[in-house]
């Protein structure tokens, strides 16, 4: 199926990349089917690249490294996602961005792609006064929560087939944080999750989308070169 987009208004992307913004919640299985078909079409040279902004009804998704013991309370549908990583929650109030790009046109660097996604989210969060960061050994985007502890504000999970990416990231704008209690998010028990709303930032999806797309050019430019290796 093809899931229609809304009028993206002044949101535009550099290059011949389609931008799709879905108006209402998109069931996760439908989005996964759409992504898989589009990924194959891009790889075959039959479709444009795609950046897709959307929201899901409540769902727990299992990555390829998900452990059964980390599914604590399957109160929502559980879907095997095929992406890397472990269990993740998606639901209302969380902005999801699926990124389907052909890395053969860029640096062919999987690590650089993930690094670029992280930087894109970190830079956009800063636009709303939230300082966030990467953490060695912990996947995702982290910030300082209201209690002074580190907490996850954004999840990242990707899959690359024939050098075409799929999946992407999800940022907690204003989700019901109690919904995360049904899983060990990304397999990390020691730290919690937070959101822009919990941090006192009332941000609409429209405002988030505009800020994110305004920084898309920097993200895409970063993919043109291999990710710099860290030095001791």
Residues in Cβ contact with 96 at an 8 Å cutoff, skipping those fewer than 6 apart: 53, 54, 55, 56, 90, 168, 169, 170
Q: Considering the chain, what is the average pLDDT of its residues?
A: 91
User: How do residues 71-96 score in pLDDT, each as one tens digit?
Assistant: 999 999 999 998 888 899 999 999 99
Exposed / middle / buried, residue 170 (Cβ in 10 Å: 0-12, 13-18, 19+): buried
Q: What is the pLDDT of residue 84?
A: 81
Structure tokens at 92: 């209302």
Beta-carbon contacts of residue 77 (< 8 Å; ≥ 6 apart): 28, 58, 59, 60
Res 83: pLDDT = 87
Q: Is the pLDDT of residue 9 over 60?
A: no
Distance CA 101, CA 27 (A): 22
Residue 53 half-sphere exposure toward CB, CA atoms < 13 A: 24
Backbone angles phi, psi at 41, to 5 degrees: -65, -40
Give one DSSP letter per residue of 59-92, joined into a string.
Answer: EEEE-TT--GGGB----SEEEE--SSSSEEEE-T
Whole-number Å distance between alpha carbons of 61 and 58: 10
How would residue 231 be classed by pLDDT, with cut points 50, 70 and 90? very low
Q: What is the pLDDT of residues 172-182, one digit of tens each?
A: 999 999 999 99
What is the band of 189 on the pLDDT scale with cuts at 50, 70, 90?
low
Residues 51 and 98: beta-carbon distance below 8 Å: yes
Tokens in use for 112?
A: 């650089």
Are the beta carbons of 174 and 195 closer than 8 angstroms? yes
The per-residue pLDDT for 144 is 97
* pLDDT bracket for residue 186 (50, 70, 90): low
The string of pLDDT tens digits covering residues 124-176 is 999 999 999 998 888 899 999 999 999 999 999 999 999 999 999 999 999 99
Q: How far apart are CA 5 and CA 221, in angstroms?
A: 25
Beta carbons of 142 and 133 less than 8 angstroms apart? yes
Could you please report the per-residue DSSP string of 167-205? Answer: EEEEEESS--GGGGGGB-GGG--S-EE--TTTTT----H
Say what the pLDDT of residue 103 is: 97
**In which residue are the tokens 């009332």 written?**
202
Residue 126, helix vs strand vs coil: helix
Diameter over CA atoms, the chain: 49
How many of the other CB atoms lie within 10 Å of CB of 144? 16
Fold of 17-220: BirA Bifunctional Protein; domain 2 (3.30.930)
Q: Give this prediction's pTM.
A: 0.91
Known catalytic residues are 186
Mean pLDDT within 98-110: 95
The pLDDT of residue 232 is 38
């Amino acid at each position: 199926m093809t899931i229609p987009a809304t009028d993206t208004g002044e949101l535009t992307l550099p290059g011949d990349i389609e931008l799709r913004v879905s108006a209402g919640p998109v069931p996760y299985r439908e989005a996964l089917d759409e992504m898989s078909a589009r990924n194959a079409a891009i790889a075959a040279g039959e479709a444009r690249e795609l950046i897709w902004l959307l929201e899901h009804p409540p769902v727990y998704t299992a990555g390829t490294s998900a452990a059964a013991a980390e599914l604590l309370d399957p109160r929502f549908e559980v879907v095997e996602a095929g992406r890397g990583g472990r269990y993740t929650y998606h639901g209302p109030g969380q902005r999801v961005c699926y990124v389907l790009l052909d890395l053969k046109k860029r640096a062919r660097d999987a690590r650089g792609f993930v690094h670029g996604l992280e930087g894109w989210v970190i830079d956009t969060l800063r636009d709303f006064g939230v300082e966030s960061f990467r953490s060695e050994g912990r996947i995702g985007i982290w910030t300082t929560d209201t209690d002074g502890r580190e907490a996850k504000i954004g999840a990242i999970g990707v899959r690359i087939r024939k050098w075409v990416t799929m999946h992407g990231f999800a940022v907690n704008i204003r989700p019901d944080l109690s919904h995360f209690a049904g899983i060990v998010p990304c397999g990390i028990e020691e730290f919690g999750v937070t959101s822009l709303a919990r941090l006192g930032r009332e941000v609409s999806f429209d405002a988030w989308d505009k800020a994110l797309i305004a920084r898309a050019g920097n993200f895409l430019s970063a993919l043109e070169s291999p990710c710099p290796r860290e030095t001791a």
